[in-house]
Amino acid sequence: MAGRSDFTRGNGHGPPAVPVDAAFTVEHLHRLRFTRHALDPSNPVLREVLGPAETSSGRVLCFADGGVIDAWPELADQVEQYIRSVPGFEPAGSLRRVPGGEAAKNDWRVFEQVTRAIHDEGVCRHSTVLVIGGGAVLDVVGFAAATAHRGVRLVRMPSTTLAQADAGIGVKNGVNAFGTKNFLGTFAVPRAVIIDEAFLATLDDRDWRCGLSEAVKVALLKDERFFETIETTAGRLRDRDRSAMRRVVRRSAELHLQHIVTCGDPFELSGARPLDFGHWSAHKLEQLTGFRMRHGEAVAIGVALDVVYSAMTGRLAGSDAARIVAVLQDLGFTLHDAALGDSALFDGLEEFREHLGGRLAITLLEGIGRPVEVHEMDHRRLADAVEQLGRMTQGSRTT
Ligand SMILES: NC(=O)c1ccc[n+]([C@@H]2O[C@H](COP(=O)([O-])OP(=O)(O)OC[C@H]3O[C@@H](n4cnc5c(N)ncnc54)[C@H](O)[C@@H]3O)[C@@H](O)[C@H]2O)c1
Ligand SMILES: [Zn+2]
């Protein structure tokens, strides 16, 4: 046929394909460090993960969340002095400010500014990008670092409870596009993640609380005793007890890391994403509320909803569902929102399926620490679960 190439002309009886398949594996090392005051020059942690100068260009370009810079005005000087104190290393320009919060992932210009800085400072693949911030800033800077030169070394210093307990640990990054959460992004293993608990002191109460919903989530999936620890310390956690938070952040981070290195599917090639328990509705609630609802707040509601649905469909004991909802409330989360009544909420299921590819895979619970994967969600019973959750949290609305 005129104008068509040989590729499209086949009649199905062409020469057989010659397979030349070769399997290969690449080993990754995920370095996770817990410390305090990481930017004090006497603290060796960052120096150690930057690696020997011979294996690096010695240049470090640092990005920090605007919220962190405002709370820690001395940060730029500290970063500069620290890097200069490491033999063979120097800062690649001065510390760059990235607007904090979801706006950083919603505005394409932020990604562009970060990649431009990487370009303009002559950062190469043997240089390091250091990012300090909440999950949103880690996501956008991580995406830029993973795609500039097809991958520049990244050291993350998460600065919120949610980023320290979850977002900063993983091997994912991304930005929102076309109204869809995390539509663009990559899987990339960071060079290191440094959890500096000192950063948490300046969080407001909402962001202090946000990481706790992800900790409850991972405890429900993997560790009943951890759930009990959160349950018995809920009051202290809500009242900003630092040692209680240190323990929870640490265990949650360890469980997330363990999952990535032992689950056999770190880059989520199968359709399942067990760590996203409660997230099909959480992502939709964030979007439906124009990101008025924080990720951690939406996850608390999403987890509660799927817990109640698990009970309503006979998988989970009603007493366990009540217990989990009570813990989330004791931590200070509000589990009702007008957006739960939005008919578009259930579109989150199809969007979640599409993001993963393949057939729908939703994690529910059979018990605390006992997840189960299902491939169908009954919309009518989900609507009942929304109502039931409303009834369970009724008392808290009037107090
Ligand atoms: N990549 C992943 O695997 C992954 C996993 C979970 C969540 N996430 C993403 O993480 C984001 C949520 O992250 P988050 O909860 O950290 O919120 P966030 O990044 O939106 O930050 C919340 C607010 O805290 C401020 N802030 C950060 N650190 C501070 C500090 N130490 N002191 C004072 N203010 C500070 C920020 O400026 C911002 O205003 C969402 O976009 C979510 O999708 C990503
Ligand atoms: Zn999450």
- Residue 66 tokens read as 């605007």
pLDDT at position 269 is 81
**Index of the ligand 1 atom closest to the CA of residue 136:** 19
**Topology of the domain covering 32-203:** Rossmann fold (3.40.50)
Q: What is the pTM of this model?
A: 0.94
Q: Is the CB of 158 under 6 A from ligand 1?
A: no
Q: Is the CB of 252 under 6 A from ligand 1?
A: no
**Topology of the domain covering 206-398:** Dehydroquinate synthase-like, alpha domain (1.20.1090)
User: Of residues 330 and 8, which shows the higher confidence score?
Assistant: 330
Instruction: Please state, as a whole number, how many other Cβ atoms lie within 10 Å of the Cβ of residue 270.
Output: 13
CA distance 203 to 199: 8
What is the whole-number distance in angstroms between the Cα of residue 174 and the centre of ligand 2? 13
pLDDT at position 9 is 52
pLDDT digits (tens, 9 = 90+) for 147-169: 999 999 999 999 999 999 999 99
Where does residue 314 rank: exposed (0-12), middle (13-18), buried (19+ CB within 10 A)? exposed
Average pLDDT score over the chain: 93
What is the whole-number distance in angstroms between the Cα of residue 298 and the centre of ligand 1? 13
Pairing of strands 370-374, 96-98: unpaired
CA distance 370 to 91: 47
Q: Is the CB of 295 under 6 A from ligand 1?
A: yes
Task: Please check the confidence at residue 2 and state whether its pLDDT lies above 50.
Answer: no
User: Rounded to whole angstroms, what are the CA distances from 341 to 168, 289, 312, 389?
Assistant: 32, 12, 18, 12
Pairing of strands 32-35, 90-91: unpaired
Residue ranges covered by each domain of the chain = 32-203, 206-398
Pairing of strands 128-133, 153-158: parallel
**Residue 186 confidence class, pLDDT cut points 50, 70, 90:** very high
Could you tell me if 367 and 320 are in contact, meaning their C-beta atoms sit under 8 angstroms apart? yes
Residue 346 CB contacts under 8 Å (≥ 6 apart), including other chains: 379, 382
pLDDT digits (tens, 9 = 90+) for 317-352: 999 999 999 999 999 999 999 999 999 999 999 998
- Residue 8 tokens read as 């499209």
pLDDT at position 1 is 42
Ligand of minimum distance to the alpha carbon of 280: 2
CA distance 284 to 289: 8
Ligand of minimum distance to the alpha carbon of 157: 1
pLDDT digits (tens, 9 = 90+) for 92-137: 999 999 999 999 999 999 999 999 999 999 999 999 999 999 999 9
Task: Please check the confidence at residue 8 and state whether its pLDDT lies above 60.
Answer: no
Q: Is the CB of 32 under 6 A from ligand 1?
A: no
Could you tell me if 135 and 68 are in contact, meaning their C-beta atoms sit under 8 angstroms apart? no
Ligand of minimum distance to the alpha carbon of 165: 1
Q: Is the CB of 139 under 6 A from ligand 1?
A: yes
The preferred substitution site among 139, 186, 242 for testing ligand 1, maximizing ligand atoms within 8 Å of CB, is: 139
User: Of residues 353 and 203, which shows the higher confidence score?
Assistant: 203
Could you tell me if 201 and 164 are in contact, meaning their C-beta atoms sit under 8 angstroms apart? no
Biggest distance spanned by C-alpha atoms of the chain: 76
